[in-house]
């Protein structure tokens, strides 16, 4: 299957700082990228969907100004958690899909801990 990488894999930061997470599709062009968060023992929660070159579509309840998504190229999307707070601590996972969007391939995830 296709390979998706995420960086960093783990980050610890102080409250009030911003954290950027990168998601890259390594061997295919990702027309669409998805950002999820997952709390312990819960299922994946879709945060937003981004198409290359256009604004992301956010799910209800997800603050656009807090979770900034940029999808500037067909292989890279970034999620920036601005002014992070301890309640933002979670496991953030990106996935990427090609033109037909039939299957999403997931990155390994980023574990964020805000102190």
Partner 1 sequence: EDKVVQSPLSLVVHEGDTVTLNCSYEVTNFRSLLWYKQEKKAPTFLFMLTSSGIEKKSGRLSSILDKKELFSILNITATQTGDSAIYLCAVAAFFNAGNNRKLIWGLGTSLAVNP
Interface residues with partner 1 (CB under 8 A)?
1, 6, 32, 34, 42-44, 46, 49, 51, 57, 93, 97, 101-109
* CB closer to partner 1 out of 15 and 42: 42
Minimal distance, residue 9 CB to partner 1, in Å: 9
* CB closer to partner 1 out of 13 and 46: 46
* CB closer to partner 1 out of 16 and 53: 53
Minimal distance, residue 59 CB to partner 1, in Å: 9
**CA nearest 77: which of 91, 97, 62, 63?**
97
* CB closer to partner 1 out of 10 and 64: 10
Neighbouring residues of 73: CB distance < 8 A, sequence distance ≥ 6: 52
Minimal distance, residue 42 CB to partner 1, in Å: 7
- The half-sphere exposure of 64 on its side-chain side, counting CA atoms within 13 A, is 9
Minimal distance, residue 95 CB to partner 1, in Å: 8
**Count of other CB atoms within 10 angstroms of residue 113:** 13
Sign of the dihedral through C-alpha 41, 84, 61, 67: negative
From CA 73, how far away is CA 13, in angstroms rounded?
27
């Amino acid at each position: 299957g296709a390979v998706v990488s995420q960086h960093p894999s783990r980050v610890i930061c102080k409250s009030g700082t911003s954290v950027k997470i990168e998601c890259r599709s390594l061997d295919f062009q990702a027309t669409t990228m998805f950002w999820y968060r997952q709390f312990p023992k819960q299922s994946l929660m879709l945060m937003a969907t981004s198409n290359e070159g256009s604004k992301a579509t956010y799910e209800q309840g997800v603050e656009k100004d807090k979770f900034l998504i940029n999808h500037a190229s067909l292989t890279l999307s970034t999620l920036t958690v601005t002014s992070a707070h301890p309640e933002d601590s979670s496991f953030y996972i990106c996935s990427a899909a090609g033109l037909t969007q039939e299957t999403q391939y997931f990155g390994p995830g980023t574990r964020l801990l805000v102190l």
